[in-house]
Copies of this chain bind each other. A is one copy, B any other.
Amino acid sequence: MALSAIESFKVEDHVVVDTEKNNIQEHSETSKWVLSAPDPPTLWYQIVVSVRNSISHYQQWCSSLRGQHRAKVVLSFLTAIFPILDWGHNYTVTKFRNDLLAGLTIASLCIPQSIGYATLAKLDPEYGLYTSVVPPLIYAIMGTSREIAIGPVAVVSLLLSSMIQKLIDPVADPVGYRKLVFTATLFAGIFQAAFGLLRLGFFVDFLSHAAIVGFMAGAAIIIGLQQLKGLFGINHFTNNTDIISVMKSVWESVHHPWNPLNFVLGCSFFIFILLTRLLGKRNRKLYWLPAISPLISVILATVIVFVTRADKSGVNIVKHIKGGLNPISMNEIEFNSPHVGALAKIGLVVAIVALTESVSVGRSFASMKGYHLDGNKEMVSLGFMNIIGSFTSCYVATGSFSRTVVNFTAGCETLMSNIVMAVTVIISLLCLTKLLYFTPTAILASIILSALPGLIDINEGYKIWKTDKVDFLACIGAFFGVMFVSVEIGLLVAVAISFMKIIFLSIGPGIETLGKLPGTNMFCDVHQYPMAIKIPGVVIVRIKSSMLCFSNANSITERVTKWITEEETEGDKEDTRSIIQLVIIDASNLVSIDTSGIASLEKLHKNLVSSGKQLAIANPRWKVIYKLKTTNFVKRIGGRVFLTVGEAVESKLDC
């Protein structure tokens, strides 16, 4: 605010500064070290370095190939892109036996889940199966994880349908809806690949762990509620996903005449699946039982309906599933659609959620098996898999949490299990789709329901509550946002709370007084270390933030001034030596300071000088001392900059 105009009035201040200048003492060696530090790298230099680092990753890799035989270079290049060439080299029959078993197990879980998730994504059932064919194959040749099972997942299916159905009605215009889904899938793939190629993996970290726990739990409940449609055989179901709309929808349909057969069928197989899971937990050898129980349920229920022709008595069935391999969908991708901007946004959100699920599952298992998972490489693989998926009638696929656990438990060795799974799904698509005609939809609902408890992690929620209350707030915010508003709002709430926390913590105007620890030369927070002794006549203050900037500078300096007054009035009661002569700011925390921060320090200094006190800075960091030097603040405080608080305290005794 045109402060330079005001500055022209500050004639008297300059006089103060001038008399001070003569007062600069000869400082110790260490103070000289502080003041003669080399200039820190400029912002521009930092940007250049960070770009160079991103590129150098590729350069290093290229230079490591130099001087080698051309065939070897090509091979090494291909191996880096397609790790299958590496592990395929040492592939053995024993490994294949394990992978075959694991692959068949996840296939038996994958087929009914894929059909169910396609319904959740408001697509025809075959699109779920298509998504379990191409993406796993692509990932198998590009991916670096060994356990991840690729395919459609519940949360991404729900997210996709809940966002795209706002643009177009999936019931009225299924073809148009499908086109938008493929376009969004392409965008998601492009974003994922771009994050990986540009080494922007940190984007995925923006969803905090707490937010994900809350989001997943909320999404699981929402997905469960969506299954009520299939379980009750309701025909008119709300398009909204929030709990209130859905319960209203269910309530209304209950008043209409409804067929309890769907419910009975669904529930009995739901109980069957839960029982097999219990058995599997009790007896580790029966691990395959819970994994194949969904398939058994589908077969049994289909046979029951076929034999009794229950579909005529009102049991809803899947009916026609289009057989055959994935049709090409390249011509269905629409860049000229008026919704292309919205689709890009949807693609971005879905890309981040899908990456979060896949990368966090992959990392957990990799650290368990003791190998390193390159996050950026993973993103590229997942991205390419979705790009090619969008050309072959697949919607967004990612690493499935439930199937990855089954894959690991079934003893998979490599990504071959994904290939086995994909081949099994291809065979089903070619030969078995007709057999699924009589599959009751209630069974699919109960299979999805049975996969949900794994997404709700109450233990983790409790752990978050115990460790960090604000984290828990983000968790609960995401949970209720998803439950009561919508999936996107839930995500947004979680991200917003996480960032609000960062802002509040970093701008928090907290300061703490330091005292000397007996027998050492350390100065520490007197509250954390009750044995610390305050130095009479000196106030030592440390800022509890890594920056002194516009948002906290004023409050901090005001608080320091208030403390000094309090210290002096308190001291008055006890003894007379309590007049504060020196105020030391321990700047060891401060990573950066901005123009407002420097301005407030100058104001503080002026106030102190006017009441006969001195200001000293201890242990300033690189950028901070640089800025204090360039703005002449160091000169103005008579060069009282010290390496340690102890030296600053001694300086008071000297004078």
Binding site for B on A (CB under 8 A): 1-6, 9-10, 29-30, 33, 37-38, 40, 42-44, 201-202, 205-213, 216, 356-357, 360-361, 364-365, 367-368, 370, 375, 401, 405, 408, 454-457, 459-460, 463-464, 466-471, 498-499, 501-503, 505-507, 509-510, 517, 519-522, 524-525, 527-531, 544-547, 549-555, 558, 588-589, 591-592, 594-596, 598-599, 603, 606-607, 610, 621-622, 625, 627, 630-631, 643-644
Q: What is the bound-complex CA distance between A545 and B505, given in angstroms?
A: 11
Q: What is the bound-complex CA distance between A37 and B530, given in angstroms?
A: 8
Q: What is the bound-complex CA distance between A456 and B4, given in angstroms?
A: 10
Q: Which residues of B contact A551 (CB under 8 A)?
A: 202, 205-206, 208, 498, 502
Query: 26 pairs across A/B with beta carbons < 8 Å?
Result: A1-B212, A2-B401, A10-B368, A29-B519, A33-B531, A40-B528, A44-B469, A202-B552, A205-B596, A208-B551, A208-B594, A209-B596, A370-B610, A464-B595, A467-B594, A468-B594, A499-B503, A502-B506, A502-B551, A505-B506, A510-B591, A528-B621, A545-B546, A545-B591, A588-B589, A589-B589
Q: How far is the CB of A56 from chain B (nearest CB, A)?
A: 13
Q: What is the bound-complex CA distance between A456 and B1, given in angstroms?
A: 8
Q: Which residues of B contact A501 (CB under 8 A)?
A: 549, 594
Q: Which residues of B contact A361 (CB under 8 A)?
A: 1
Our pick among B44, B209, B553 for the contact of A595 (Cβ within 8 Å) is B209
Grouping DSSP codes into helix (H, G, I), strand (E, B) and loop, the A interface class, with mixed when no group exceeds half, is helix
B467, A631: Cβ atoms under 8 Å? yes
Q: What is the bound-complex CA distance between A469 and B43, given in angstroms?
A: 7
Q: How far is the CB of A45 from chain B (nearest CB, A)?
A: 11
**A2, A470, A546, most chain B CB atoms within 10 A:** A2
Q: How far is the CB of A610 from chain B (nearest CB, A)?
A: 6
B603, A367: Cβ atoms under 8 Å? yes
Our pick among B506, B594, B625 for the contact of A471 (Cβ within 8 Å) is B594
Q: What is the bound-complex CA distance between A558 and B596, given in angstroms?
A: 34
Q: What is the bound-complex CA distance between A498 and B3, given in angstroms?
A: 20
Q: Which residues of B contact A546 (CB under 8 A)?
A: 505-506, 544-547, 589, 591
Q: Quick one: closest B residue to A470, CB to CB?
A: B43
Q: Which residues of B contact A505 (CB under 8 A)?
A: 506, 546-547, 591-592
**A455, A456, A621, A625, most chain B CB atoms within 10 A:** A621
Q: What is the bound-complex CA distance between A646 and B171, given in angstroms?
A: 69
Q: What is the bound-complex CA distance between A265 and B216, given in angstroms?
A: 70
Q: How far is the CB of A92 from chain B (nearest CB, A)?
A: 24
A202, B506: Cβ atoms under 8 Å? no
Q: What is the bound-complex CA distance between A641 and B16, given in angstroms?
A: 47
Q: How far is the CB of A282 from chain B (nearest CB, A)?
A: 14
Q: Which residues of B contact A210 (CB under 8 A)?
A: 550, 594-596
Q: Which residues of B contact A212 (CB under 8 A)?
A: 1
Our pick among B2, B208, B364, B520 for the contact of A30 (Cβ within 8 Å) is B520
A457, B2: Cβ atoms under 8 Å? yes
Q: Which residues of B contact A498 (CB under 8 A)?
A: 550-551
Q: How far is the CB of A528 from chain B (nearest CB, A)?
A: 4
B606, A367: Cβ atoms under 8 Å? yes
Q: How far is the CB of A405 from chain B (nearest CB, A)?
A: 7
Cβ-closest 4 pairs across A and B = A208-B550, A546-B546, A506-B506, A528-B622
Q: Quick one: closest B residue to A520, CB to CB?
A: B30
Q: What is the bound-complex CA distance between A4 and B5, given in angstroms?
A: 62
Q: Which residues of B contact A595 (CB under 8 A)?
A: 208-210, 463-464, 467-468, 471
Q: What is the bound-complex CA distance between A457 and B595, given in angstroms?
A: 15
Our pick among B209, B213, B521, B524 for the contact of A521 (Cβ within 8 Å) is B521
B644, A522: Cβ atoms under 8 Å? yes
Q: What is the bound-complex CA distance between A624 and B12, given in angstroms?
A: 46
B630, A466: Cβ atoms under 8 Å? yes
Not counting A2-B455, A2-B460, A545-B546, a sample of 16 additional A-B residue pairs whose C-beta atoms are within 8 angstroms of each other reads A6-B364, A9-B368, A30-B520, A33-B529, A38-B527, A208-B594, A208-B596, A463-B631, A467-B594, A467-B627, A498-B550, A501-B549, A502-B506, A502-B547, A502-B551, A544-B546
B643, A520: Cβ atoms under 8 Å? yes
Q: Which residues of B contact A522 (CB under 8 A)?
A: 643-644
Report if A468-B627 is in contact (Cβ < 8 Å); known contacts: A2-B401, A361-B1, A502-B551.
yes
Q: How far is the CB of A32 from chain B (nearest CB, A)?
A: 11
